[in-house]
């Protein structure tokens, strides 16, 4: 097995090893499906259709379009794709497959896909026979690589409530293959960039400069840029997140900062209908609202606010009070959804993450009326 | 608030406090529904119908027969009763009620009922907004008092697979009201005695003597016996279990001993159809099979085996290879179900808990053929 170029470890409950694997994706070689004591591989129909997964899926008796494929003691569960299927039913499908094939408590669960697949695989692993199985992840989108796969958040949606059911269950191993990024649809790639920009705003001023001055190669990377430019950036994001998670896995303090832009974003995603707005685009809009709120409250300068909003616009993200073309959304509907967010508890205020300046982030309880002020 | 007579604490993830509360059940006084910052009370239709819960349920706007009642910021979720409803749907109903009423992450979840209600309430608390809420339990059956409520096992069934989805989430507080035992149907009471006898066999030879010599007052307690005899026995069981759980919450070693009789029992319950055989009765039969297997393998004497089986028979439990009146069950069906049990992993053997003598218990991998030998 070829060794990866770079490994990061961090300690959630036990150590997570993160492998960065340049070159072609060869999952069949990494995971040897059919050869082990029993693993459950989980992916979705979109990922299963990628050429990079051809030989891997082939081990499971030809093309598994949807449902469960079998190779030796290993299972491949192929779920319907997208946020609309981030449901308890999908998690149950993973669990049921493992139960029906008698897999033991300490089974390895391996999620191969975007944030939805990674989160649900982790949740299934955490509750299968009360947990104890090893979790491995192969994030295939930029968003999952830079954010979702790292940090142990596991879960699914419940009806209109996004990520409201779940647990903390860090992966033992995460493998990053930049080659997946080459096949990513542009809209999905850009959505992932938003979480990277979030990391820059929170922790990495040099990366923020990159966003300002290297727009073309970040937004439209040439073939070689994925390994030469994007992978190192992913590594920086992952390293920054890993350090925060290590200090605060269960999000009782510092880790909340990683939700910058997310309280607004989740509200937009909920009001729009889960799966309608790509998560990263929602986060980008949420960061525009958060920095505007920061300026409104006098926390940051108008100049910093303007700089961030201009950059977001420059990358094609919406920054206005209510996203364009969505005039059905009212400030009240968005505010109402923000108050249902799991990070919120009190009556007349909403807890939001704000910035005083680049890399200087704070948590504040903000009055509903101030929130309304940046939503219309 | 009146103080209980006796408190046990143990440390799972954080300290659990166990309160023993003689006298009348007055839940409205203990929990002040409608007066707090928001709690989710969970029970089932059978328990909600008990006179002892009358004033408590009354706070939730009259009789809540099934569904969700509201009092201030508090919810009362009344589930359909029984093992047949120990499902992901029931757990989801609890979560959905809490979400629809905007309850925050650190909401208190309080299960009032038998093992099914306690296990599902705990599971819901452990995954609601990724966990963090405080769990309290009020076990209302002998089985839940002596066993299910203590030790942090949380979960539900998935189709025919018993307790195969779940987590470990110890209650912060458990309140024991012996008055609930007075209203327990005799069959359910006897089912609970089986778990107490299990504790006697594993840890408490004096309690085993009680079972031999005080059959009448154990099996058919007079009014005063519930507080005078049964409650102290429950306390001994809980204390013994708490010490084991403290040392091995996640059941990686010593705690497995508590599954004495359970591998057989779960197989019987599964083959019979979940909810058909009371859990304790299945455990009693399972202990008869386990001690018979122990004798067959030369681990214990025939005399110890005979003594235990005679005692079980004396209390009205079935001890034969296949429970009477269930001739549809074959040894193969039971063996097959045992191999699906979550404590089992290997191919040609089953892991079972066996005894060398009273209070001397071991874990062994036993060949399938030896298992067959005690099932026909």
Greatest mean pLDDT among A62-71, B15-24, B63-72, B107-116: B107-116
Q: Are A375 and A331 in contact (CB under 8 A)?
A: yes
Residue with tokens 């439209």: A220
DSSP notation for B228-244: IIIHHHHHHHHHHHHHH
Q: Which one, of A127, A159, A84, A267, lies nearest residue B98 by Cα?
A: A159
Q: What are phi and psi of B339, to 5 degrees?
A: -75, -15
DSSP notation for B4-18: PSEEEEEEESEEEEE
Q: Are A193 and A144 in contact (CB under 8 A)?
A: no
Alpha-carbon distance of A36 to A62, in angstroms, equals 19
Q: What is the pLDDT of residues A71-120, one digit of tens each?
A: 988 999 999 999 899 999 999 999 999 999 989 888 999 999 999 999 99
Q: What is the mean pLDDT of residues B308-327?
A: 86
| pLDDT for the residue B2 | 45
pTM: 0.92
Q: Are A281 and A291 in contact (CB under 8 A)?
A: no
Mutation target to probe the A interface, by most A beta carbons within 10 A, among B130, B133, B163 is B130
The residue in chain B having the minimum alpha-carbon distance to the alpha carbon of residue A129 is B164
| pLDDT for the residue A324 | 62
Alpha-carbon distance of B172 to B84, in angstroms, equals 27
Q: What are phi and psi of A86, to 5 degrees?
A: -85, 65
Q: What is the pLDDT of residues B217-261, one digit of tens each?
A: 999 999 888 888 899 999 999 999 999 999 998 888 899 999 999
Å between B50 CA and nearest CA of chain A: 32
| pLDDT for the residue B327 | 57
Q: Which band of pLDDT confidence, cut at 50, 70 and 90, is reported for residue A227?
A: confident
| pLDDT for the residue B5 | 58
The residue in chain B having the minimum alpha-carbon distance to the alpha carbon of residue A101 is B340
B129 vs A342: CB contact, 8 Å cut-off?
yes
| pLDDT for the residue A5 | 56
Q: Which of B92, B167, B251 shows the shortest C-beta gap to A167?
A: B167
Q: Is the pLDDT of residue B88 over 80?
A: yes
Q: How far is CA A170 from the centre of its chain?
A: 14
In this structure, of A111-120, A182-191, A232-241, B20-29, the range with the lowest mean pLDDT score is B20-29
Alpha-carbon distance of A223 to B143, in angstroms, equals 64
| pLDDT for the residue A70 | 92
Q: Which band of pLDDT confidence, cut at 50, 70 and 90, is reported for residue B23?
A: confident
Q: Are A338 and A365 in contact (CB under 8 A)?
A: no
Here the tokens at position A64 are 């598994």
Contacts of B164 in chain A (CB under 8 A): 95, 99, 128-129
Q: Which band of pLDDT confidence, cut at 50, 70 and 90, is reported for residue A326?
A: low
Q: Which band of pLDDT confidence, cut at 50, 70 and 90, is reported for residue B95?
A: very high
Contacts of A166 in chain B (CB under 8 A): 127, 129-130
For chain A, the residues whose C-beta falls within 8 A of a C-beta of chain B are 88, 92, 95-96, 99, 102, 104-106, 126-132, 153-155, 158-159, 161, 163-168, 250, 339-340, 342-345
Contacts of A96 in chain B (CB under 8 A): 158-159
Q: Is the pLDDT of residue B62 over 70?
A: no
In this structure, of A62-66, A208-212, B75-79, the range with the lowest mean pLDDT score is A62-66
Work out whether strand B135-139 and strand B173-176 pair parallel, antiparallel, or are unpaired: parallel
A132 vs B106: CB contact, 8 Å cut-off?
no
Alpha-carbon distance of A154 to A163, in angstroms, equals 8
What percent of chain B has pLDDT above 90? 68
Task: For A140-206, give the secondary structure using H, E and C.
Answer: CCHHHHHHHCCCCEEEEEECCEEEEEEEECCCCEEEECCHHHHCCCHHHHHHHHHHHHHHHHHHCHH
H or E stretch covering B337 = helix B331-340
| pLDDT for the residue A41 | 97
H or E stretch covering B331 = helix B331-340
Q: Which band of pLDDT confidence, cut at 50, 70 and 90, is reported for residue A346?
A: low
Q: Which band of pLDDT confidence, cut at 50, 70 and 90, is reported for residue B1?
A: very low
The residue in chain A having the minimum alpha-carbon distance to the alpha carbon of residue B152 is A130
In this structure, of A217-231, A278-292, B314-328, the range with the lowest mean pLDDT score is B314-328
Å between B18 CA and nearest CA of chain A: 23
A343 vs B88: CB contact, 8 Å cut-off?
no
Three-state DSSP at B133 gives coil
Residue A199 CB partners (closer than 8 Å, separation 6+):
A146, A147, A207, A236, A237, A240, A241
What is the residue-averaged pLDDT of chain B?
A: 90
Alpha-carbon distance of B164 to B162, in angstroms, equals 5
Burial group, residue B331, by CB count within 10 angstroms (0-12, 13-18, 19+): middle
What percent of chain B has pLDDT above 70? 94
Contacts of B250 in chain A (CB under 8 A): 130-132
Contacts of B154 in chain A (CB under 8 A): 130
Q: Is the pLDDT of residue B81 over 80?
A: yes
Q: What is the pLDDT of residues B152-206, one digit of tens each?
A: 999 999 998 889 999 999 999 999 999 999 989 999 999 999 999 999 999 999 9
| pLDDT for the residue B252 | 87
**Is the C-alpha dihedral spanning B254, B258, B263, B266 positive or negative?**
negative
Q: Which band of pLDDT confidence, cut at 50, 70 and 90, is reported for residue A4?
A: low
Å between A343 CA and nearest CA of chain B: 7
What percent of chain A has pLDDT above 70? 94
Q: Which one, of B193, B144, B183, B149, lies nearest residue B12 by Cα?
A: B149
| pLDDT for the residue B223 | 82
Q: Rg (Cα) of chain B, in Å, rounded?
A: 20
CA-CA distances (angstroms) from residue A190 to A111, A187, A196, A219, A351?
22, 5, 10, 7, 27
What is the residue-averaged pLDDT of chain A?
A: 90
Q: Is the pLDDT of residue A339 over 90?
A: no
Here the tokens at position B274 are 């979940």
A96 vs B131: CB contact, 8 Å cut-off?
no
Contacts of A266 in chain B (CB under 8 A): none
Q: Which of B106, B132, B167 shows the shortest C-beta gap to A131?
A: B167
Contacts of A87 in chain B (CB under 8 A): none
């Amino acid at each position: 097995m070829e060794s990866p170029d770079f490994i990061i470890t961090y300690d959630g409950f036990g150590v997570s090893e993160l492998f960065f694997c340049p070159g072609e994706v060869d999952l069949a070689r990494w995971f040897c499906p059919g050869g082990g004591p029993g693993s459950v591989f989980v992916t979705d129909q979109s990922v299963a259709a990628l050429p990079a997964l051809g030989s891997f899926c082939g081990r499971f008796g030809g093309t598994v379009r949807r449902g469960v494929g079998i190779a030796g003691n290993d299972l491949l569960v192929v779920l319907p794709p997208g946020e609309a299927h981030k449901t308890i039913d999908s998690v149950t499908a993973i669990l049921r497959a493992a139960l029906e094939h008698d897999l033991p408590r300490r089974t390895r669960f391996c999620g191969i896909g975007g944030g939805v697949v990674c989160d649900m695989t982790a949740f299934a692993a955490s509750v299968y026979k009360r947990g104890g199985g090893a979790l491995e992840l192969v994030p295939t989108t930029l968003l999952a690589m830079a954010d979702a796969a790292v940090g142990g958040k596991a879960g699914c949606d419940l009806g209109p409530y996004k990520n409201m059911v779940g647990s903390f269950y860090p992966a033992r191993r995460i493998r990053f293959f930049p080659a997946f990024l080459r096949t990513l649809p542009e809209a999905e790639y850009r959505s992932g960039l938003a979480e990277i920009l979030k990391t820059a705003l929170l922790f990495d001023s040099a990366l923020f400069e990159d966003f300002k001055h290297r727009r073309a190669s970040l937004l439209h990377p040439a073939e070689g840029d994925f390994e030469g430019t994007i992978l190192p950036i992913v590594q920086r994001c992952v390293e920054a997140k890993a350090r925060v998670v290590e200090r605060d896995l269960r999000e009782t303090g510092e880790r909340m900062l990683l939700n910058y832009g997310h309280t607004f974003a989740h509200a937009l995603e909920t009001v729009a209908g889960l799966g309608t707005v790509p998560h990263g685009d929602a986060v980008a809009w949420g960061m525009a609202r958060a920095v505007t709120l920061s300026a409104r409250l006098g926390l940051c300068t108008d100049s910093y606010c303007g700089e961030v909003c201009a950059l977001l616009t420059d990358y094609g993200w919406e920054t206005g009070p209510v996203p364009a073309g969505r005039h059905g959304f009212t400030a009240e509907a968005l505010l109402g959804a923000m108050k249902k967010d799991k990070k919120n508890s009190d009556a007349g205020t909403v807890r939001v993450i704000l910035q005083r300046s680049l890399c200087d982030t704070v948590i504040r309880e903000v009055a509903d009326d101030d929130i309304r002020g940046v939503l219309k």
